[in-house]
Structure 1
Amino acid sequence: MRNPIGKPLPTTAPHLAETQQPWRGISLLLAAVLLLACMDATTKFLTTQYDVPMIAAMRYIVHCSLMIIILAPSQGKRLIKTQRTGWVIVRGASLVIATLFIGLALQRMPIAETTSIIFLSPLIVVLLARPLLGEHIGALGWVAVIMGLIGTLLIVRPTSGLDTLGVIYALGAAVATVVYQLLSRMLASSEHTISLLFYAALIGAFSFGLSLPWFWQGIQPSWQDYLLFISIGIYGGLGHFLFTAAYQHAPASVLAPMNYVQLLWAGLLGWLVFQHIPDQLSLLGMTVVAASGVLVVLKSRLPRLQTASTDLA
């Protein structure tokens, strides 16, 4: 979920990205959101047999181990070097909370609906950006927020049949994701992306790893289930890596709308794996939520577009 759920803001300078290869960046991002959607689908499948903390522990242990094995030899101290360690830890803890809520939501609801609710987080960030970051919301931002709320109400309406507790968990995941995104934005100026990724994986592995004795309790997964446990760590680790790499080839303004393709992957995997097809009103709500997210992206681009037109004049 992820992210959106679990996606750090890039630190690559936009003017550098624009001189590179945007189509390569778009391809990497589309592959990343596909992997993250596969992680959600696999997680949902495993929740039918195992507790969510156990699944999350396996995910983060594999993810963290892969980063140590693959990146530690080349990155060295850069992997663990931070300027504001306390906030980096809080950021990682917010991702741990979001992961727990996402797993609990997926245990009770279809993938597409869960993903759509969690995608409210960019809209909440817009609302909090003014009091916390001093950013201007503007008319376009308010339109995006209202559209997102309408879309969510279409998805979670009383006749939708969604589990009430599952909706609460999904909303909790969205709130935790907001904290994660705000801290990502705040830390982007002082921290390396690779260290932010590593600390998030390390804190997740440590936090959920401590809970394993309470949730394993004599369970003997089959070798197929072990492969699925390993796969979610690979999906998450590789998905985050490709997501970060995408911003080395294209600017954020080009890539941000592509994140909403994850809603498409979520719906497709929900249909292929779980034979779930959202009803027409839910599909309409998902479309409205995605459109509101694109408006948020346009809002962020508007000042630059206006500046460009002024320069041309």
Structure 2
Amino acid sequence: MNTAAALLPTRTLAGIGLAVAATACFGLLDTTVKLVGAVMPVLMIVWFRYLFHAVATTAVLLPLRGRAAWRTAHPRFQLLRGALLLSLSLMGVVALQQMPVGEFTAILMFTPLAVTLLGATVLRERVSAWQWALVAGGFAGVLLVVRPEGEDIGWASILPLTMVFMSAWFQILTARMARTEDPLTMHLYTGWVGALVSSALLPFVWQAIPDARTFGLLVLVGSMGTVGHLMLIMAFQRAPASTLSPYLYAQIAFAMVFGWLVFAHVPGTVELTGIALIVLCGAVSGWRATRSRSLPIAPPED
């Protein structure tokens, strides 16, 4: 038996395991952000998260690659990608102070379907009737989670809905850049763009960290974001996107579990139905997109 063929199942299983572990990190990240946001300014939380990311990634990459770690063919796109992600992070922290973690995560999981929608309406890509049906089904799920006529989430739902379409552009940009850019170099630039921009704004909101518990929560925010993204990169190096995409929806389950453990929040029947619709339509859409070799699925960022 060919050695490479024999190792393939093991590599694929490792990729799946890494992807699921990454979604657990992101679920814990969002839960911790919601918790620490009660006592710290939004910008300070985001600043600490990106500073940790930047320093940790640099400490790993520079000894291995030296100056080559910074080599990029598209520095302007690296800056744009970093700025987009920083904006998403700021909106995410604000939204998590106003709504449950599970519902917030579920709305963001509409992003792959939004990529399809933008691909058809803006990039003029061909979209099949099946894909339109999946987009419609996923949006119906979002409406069930948000429930515009209800008062449980209210105006805060505008933030993750805005994030969905910003994230869709971020994913499209990431997918285009991934054709020529090293994923770890992109990861490095993402951290430093976020850290430097937020540092420039930090004097306007700076306050002392009140206690060791809060500092520990900030460290957890930084480490979960950094480790989660590194594991996701490693997962996509070991298994194809079509294999991994359904497992990325495990983030919703982790978010609901952590939300229940920390905040005692349990989604109602209507919300759970909407979440199930988003997961089903998004997973099928991602699988069909990768099978048809259309725009590749980029790892979700947080």
- TM-score, normalised with respect to structure 1: 0.87
- Cα offsets for 1:254-302 (capped at 9, x unmatched): 0011110000001101100000001100010001001111121232144
CA contact (8 A) 1:141 1:295 kept: no
Which residue is 1:269 aligned to? 258
- Cα offsets for 1:163-210 (capped at 9, x unmatched): 333111111221221121010011111111011111111111112122
Q: Secondary structure at the match of 1:79?
A: helix
* Pairing 1:61–2:47 present: no
Question: 2: CA distance between counterparts of 1:141 and 1:303?
Answer: 12
Which residue is 1:185 aligned to? 175
Which residue is 2:300 aligned to? none
* Pairing 1:284–2:273 present: yes
Change in 2 beyond 3 A, CA 1:134/1:73: farther
Which residue is 2:145 aligned to? 155
Which residue is 2:192 aligned to? 202
The total of aligned residue pairs comes to 288
Deviation, 1:221, is 2.1
CA contact (8 A) 1:54 1:211 kept: no
Which residue is 2:111 aligned to? 121
Question: 2: CA distance between counterparts of 1:137 and 1:20?
Answer: 35
* Pairing 1:139–2:115 present: no
Question: 1: CA distance between counterparts of 2:99 and 2:248?
Answer: 21
Question: 2: CA distance between counterparts of 1:192 and 1:260?
Answer: 25
Which residue is 1:39 aligned to? 29
Question: 2: CA distance between counterparts of 1:61 and 1:147?
Answer: 39
Q: Superposition RMSD on alpha carbons, in Å?
A: 1.8
Deviation, 1:162, is 3.0
CA contact (8 A) 1:98 1:174 kept: no
Question: 2: CA distance between counterparts of 1:252 and 1:299?
Answer: 11
Q: Secondary structure at the match of 1:90?
A: helix
Q: Secondary structure at the match of 2:97?
A: helix
Change in 2 beyond 3 A, CA 1:70/1:96: same
Q: Secondary structure at the match of 2:72?
A: coil
Match of 1:233 among 222, 241, 246: 222
Change in 2 beyond 3 A, CA 1:245/1:51: same
Residue correspondence of structure 1 range 1-80 to structure 2 within 5 A:
21-80=11-70
- Cα offsets for 1:201-239 (capped at 9, x unmatched): 11111121222211124x342011111111111100100
- Cα offsets for 1:86-116 (capped at 9, x unmatched): 1121111110111011111001000011111
Question: 1: CA distance between counterparts of 2:13 and 2:137?
Answer: 29
Question: 1: CA distance between counterparts of 2:121 and 2:135?
Answer: 16
Question: 1: CA distance between counterparts of 2:56 and 2:274?
Answer: 37
Percent identity at matched positions?
31
Question: 1: CA distance between counterparts of 2:21 and 2:291?
Answer: 28
Which residue is 1:171 aligned to? 161
* Pairing 1:254–2:270 present: no
Unmatched segments (≥5 aa) in structure 1:
1-14, 305-313
Question: 2: CA distance between counterparts of 1:21 and 1:134?
Answer: 36
Question: 1: CA distance between counterparts of 2:183 and 2:287?
Answer: 24
Unmatched segments (≥5 aa) in structure 2:
294-302
Deviation, 1:131, is 5.0
Which residue is 2:296 aligned to? none
- TM-score, normalised with respect to structure 2: 0.91
Question: 1: CA distance between counterparts of 2:103 and 2:150?
Answer: 10
